[in-house]
Every structure is written in C-alpha cells, then in structure tokens.
Amino acid sequence: MSKKNQTLGEFIIENQQAFPYSSGELSRLINSIRLAAKVVNHEVNKAGLVDITGAVGDTNIQGEEQQKLDVYANQKFIQTLTNREIVCGIASEENDEYITIQGHNKDHKNKYVVLMDPLDGSSNIDVNVSVGTIFSVYRRVTPIGTPVTMEDFLQPGNLQVAAGYIIYGTSTMLVYTTGHGVNGFTLNPAIGTYYLSHPNMKFSEDGNIYSVNEGNYAQFPRGVKDYIKYCQAEEDDRPYTSRYIGSLVSDIHRNMIKGGIYIYPGSSKYPDGKLRLLYECNPMAFIAEQAGGKASNGFKRIMDIKPTELHERVPFFCGSKNMVEKAEECMRNAK
Ligand code: AHM
Ligand code: MG
C-alpha cells in the first residue's frame, strides 16, 4: 500500500479509505498538523540565530518556565487547527484548560478533539538538541452540536483514532498512525514536502538500548533499579547500551529504529513520574503498539488507564516488547 518516494499528501489521499471514519476529516486534520509542523520547524531551525530562545517568563501549569518557542509552537498548532472545520476542542500541555472550538457557524459540528504537547523537550532548544511535537486525536463522545466537555478529553488511550509526533532533528520527520501501522515522512526543506522515508516502522521484539535518567537512580522504585542492574549485567547479549537524550520524541524515535526501551519511572520524590498521560504517554503508546512494541506504567497497559484529569502524570515504560515485559517482571517481583 505504501510506496517509497510517495509524498505525505499522496499517502493521505491513498490511505483515506483505511481510516476508521472515512469522511476525509481525519485526513484534513493530519494535513493541518503537517502544515503547522512546517511553520514550527522553520522557527525551531533558526532558534540559534534569532533572539527567540530563552524563557518567556510565564510558567505553565506544571510550574515549569516556558521557553519562547513553546509558546510559539502552541499558538501555531492551535491556530492552524482552529482555522479549519475539523476540531471541536484542543487540550495542550501548555494550557491549563482545554479550548472549545465552536466552528465558523458556531454550531459545534466538528468531530475530533486533539491533545498535544506542542514542543516537548524544549529545555534542549538552547543546546541545539532535537525536540518534538506530540499529538493525539480522539472522536468526541458528547453529541455533535453541543460544546465539548471534559469527558471528550478524558478518554483512555485505546480510543485514539490517530497519534503521531514530529521530530525536529538532523532531518524533520512526521511519524504517525491511524491504527494501521506506523509510517514516517521526512521533510525535504528545499521544497517543503514530506516524503515517505520510513514505511511500516517496527520496534524489534528485543533491543539493546535502555534510556532512563539514571541521575535519579537513588529515588527509583526497587523494580526499576533491578531492571537497570539487569541491563548492565555481563550476561548473554548484555550489558545493553545506555542512551538518554532527555527529549522523549528523540529517545523513542531512536529506540523504535534501533530497538530499545525508554523508562520514565515514578520515584520517591515524584511517585507518578514526570510525563503526562494524555499529551505524551498515550500517543507514544499508540505508536509503540502499532509498531509491534509495548507501553506500560510498569504494571498495566498505558492505553487502558482511564484518565481522571487533563494534566495527569504516569510512570512510563515504552519500547521493544520483550524489554518492556522484562521490566514489568522486575516491577512485579519487587512489589
Ligand atoms: P517537557 O514536556 O517539559 O519538555 O518534559 C518532558 C521531557 C521529555 O521529553 C524527556 O524525556 C523528559 O522530560 C526528560 O526529563 P528529565 O530531565 O527529568 O530526565
Ligand atoms: Mg512534554
């Protein structure tokens, strides 16, 4: 179905029938994300040149200082999605509350809600390390014609209809799934077109990379410590290689291509870890599963968790299936 050298535009049209609801709206939604990503990419790429880096002074709901580019990316994605008649609501990691989009005729007739982290890993911008955008799409559950409610956003990950990420790296890539596998498109910046460069992306069942911020080791639960010891043991194909960029999109992207596990566990200081269920973990979990990998909170499937609040955090174990299962075994045994 997917041909190399195909553009993202061609791919979307060709695969429209395979989308769960084939009215074309989801295709248009992916299209607007593609457009916003190009604009954000342009800004991210010149971040070192202009005086746009650095903290804007605001703090977001997590109490973190916002970088200027966070604000910019947030505005661009919201603007692009709002201007098209597709989305009825947006929740962003950078906004305390969700946004209701009534549509041009103020009739609330659009079907989809988008949840996103517009610029993840933004503390890496100042040091020229890859950052990313993460998005997650659901069909609203409340009736069309009425304003969205919190219920539309607090859906478990297993109800996502699409999810993806954009990585602003050595190349800019858009990687997404609509539940029919994972495909990656690389932007040719000279002509502004994304090409299908990574068709049908897969996590290998086993891998040899583990990615975790080991600086927090002393605060990790016993099970995570045991798993790290397992990764470092001189046995069979171990020790594994440790790679941690501190930019979720880049760490997961590398591990999907090379085989590996990413862990952001709970700790004695932060029992639920750092990552957000709705903006980071669910979309990455959907991609991981669609690529044959696994995503867990250490004990259960990420996508089966019923969210209770917009900015909820959750421990996150994601990557090659056998590695995640081994980490879960360590968590269980340490209970
Ligand atoms: P952010 O949404 O504030 O950018 O935080 C999320 C990022 C992830 O990209 C990354 O994996 C993690 O935070 C790194 O955190 P730490 O520095 O604690 O290891
Ligand atoms: Mg983030």
- Amino acid, single-letter form, for residue 7: T
Distance CA 90, CA 101 (A): 8
CA of 133, nearest ligand number: 2
Residue 151, H or E segment: helix 150-153
Identify the bridge partners of residue 233 per DSSP, sorted by sequence position. none
For ligand 1, say whether the CB of 253 is within 6 Å of any of its atoms.
no
**pLDDT per position as a tens digit, 294-333:** 999 999 999 999 999 999 999 999 999 999 999 999 999 9
Identify the bridge partners of residue 117 per DSSP, sorted by sequence position. 134
Question: What would the DSSP string read from start to end of 212-264?
Answer: --GGGGGGS-HHHHHHHHHHHSSSTTPSPEE---S-HHHHHHHHHHH-EEEEE
For ligand 1, say whether the CB of 328 is within 6 Å of any of its atoms.
no
10 Å Cβ neighbour count for 260?
A: 27
What share of the chain has pLDDT > 70, as a percent? Answer: 91
- Amino acid, single-letter form, for residue 16: Q
Tell me: cis bond preceding 315? Omega within 30 of 0 counts.
no
Residue 46: predicted pLDDT: 77
Q: Provide the H-helix boundaries in 93-161.
A: 150-153
SS3 category, 20: coil
Closest atom of ligand 1 relative to the 251 alpha carbon = 11
Task: Compute the chain's Rg from CA coordinates.
Answer: 19
Tokens of 103: 């549509």
Whether 199 has a pLDDT exceeding 70, the answer reads yes
Identify the bridge partners of residue 59 per DSSP, sorted by sequence position. 65
Q: What is the mean pLDDT of residues 244-256?
A: 97
Q: Are strands 316-319 and 55-59 parallel, antiparallel or unpaired?
A: unpaired
Residue 68: predicted pLDDT: 80
For ligand 1, say whether the CB of 211 is within 6 Å of any of its atoms.
no
**pLDDT per position as a tens digit, 106-127:** 899 999 999 999 999 988 888 8
Whether 260 has a pLDDT exceeding 90, the answer reads yes
Residue 230: predicted pLDDT: 98
Name which residue leads in pLDDT, 24 or 296: 296
How wide is the angle at C-alpha 73 spanned by C-alphas 71 and 74, nearest 5°?
Answer: 65
Residue 15: predicted pLDDT: 81
Q: What is the mean pLDDT of residues 252-270?
A: 98
CA of 249 to the centre of ligand 2 (A): 9
Whether 3 has a pLDDT exceeding 70, the answer reads no
Closest atom of ligand 1 relative to the 132 alpha carbon = 9
SS3 category, 96: coil
Label residue 75 exposed, middle or buried (CB < 10 Å: 0-12, 13-18, 19+). Answer: middle
Enter the pTM of the model: 0.93
Closest atom of ligand 1 relative to the 93 alpha carbon = 2
For ligand 1, say whether the CB of 110 is within 6 Å of any of its atoms.
no
Residue 274: predicted pLDDT: 98
pLDDT band at 65 (very low <50, low <70, confident <90, very high): low
Helix axes 321-333, 222-232, angle to 10 degrees: 130
